[in-house]
Structures are given as structure tokens and as C-alpha cells.
Amino acid sequence: MTLRLRISDALKQAMKDKDADRLSTLRLINAAIKDKDIAARATANEEGVGEDEVLAILGKMAKQRMESARAYEEGGRLDLADREREEITVIEEFLPRQLDAREEAAAVDAAIAEIGATSIRDMGKVIGLLKGKYTGRMDFAKVGPMVKERLSGG
């Protein structure tokens, strides 16, 4: 079952269950995907965005909410922080399991070996390979510095 179908089914179930909070988050997910679909159609991609792009959208939405929750906590608005965390929980249902630090390190090492990367100039190729294989499963903000360190002899 595709990710779009899973999200659609979850939306329908949330309507049946009258779960307003979950329904709201699922509608936000659908809206973000539809926005990307419209942008993709404008560039002649008639089918809209693919599964990898949907995963990237979900990952971005989760990351935005984590940052918002942190900001709300610092501002003393724990009620809003809790709301953001509830949305993260719904979004993460559709994301594949995240790699842990050890698995990320092994994936980086494998990608470097596969590319035959030897210098920092190869960083783009390594990151590109990782994004192709692990979109939605690793945090590239953490992985980028890890790749850079390994390629610069650190």
C-alpha cells in the first residue's frame, strides 16, 4: 500500500472515529502533499510527487514541529508544545523507522566505500547516494557533518 493510500485511509478512519486532533494533522499532511503535487504539475510532472518526495515532506513536517515544540517549551507554553508533539506522533506513523547513530555511521561508511570517495569534493556524491537510499530514515543535518569529517580525514 502506498504512503498516499495509508494517509488517505488514516484520514477516513479519523473522520469515522471523530478524532479531531488526528484529523487536523492528517489534513495538514494531505495539504502539504497536494501543494507539492501542484508545483510538480507546473513543471510538467503529470503524476505529482513520488513516494520519496512524500517521505521528504513528512520528514520536514516532523522536524518543523520538533523545533516549534522546543521553542514553545522555552517560552513556557507547554500546552502548545504538547500539541506539536501530538502532531509529530501522527506524522511519524507514516515515516519508516529512523536509523540509529550506529546504523547511520555504517551507512555513511558504506556510501563512501561505494562511491570510492577520497576527498571533501566527493561529499555531494556521497550525500546524494545516501538521500537516494535513506530518504525519511536519517537526519541529513546530522549526517552531513559526519560525511564531511570522514572525508576530511577526521
Nearest by Cα to 141 from 32, 55, 63, 33: 63
> Number of folded domains in the chain?
2
One domain for residues 15 and 88: yes
One domain for residues 88 and 106: no
For the stretch 38-92, pLDDT in tens is 887 776 656 677 887 888 889 889 889 999 999 999 999 999 999 999 999 999 8
One domain for residues 88 and 18: yes
Specify the pTM. 0.71
Lowest-pLDDT choice from 18-32, 45-59, 100-114, 127-141: 45-59
Q: What CATH number is associated with residue 120?
A: 1.10.10.410
Alpha helices in the chain (DSSP H): 3-17, 20-42, 51-74, 78-92, 101-115, 123-134, 140-151
Which residues constitute the domain of residue 72? 3-92
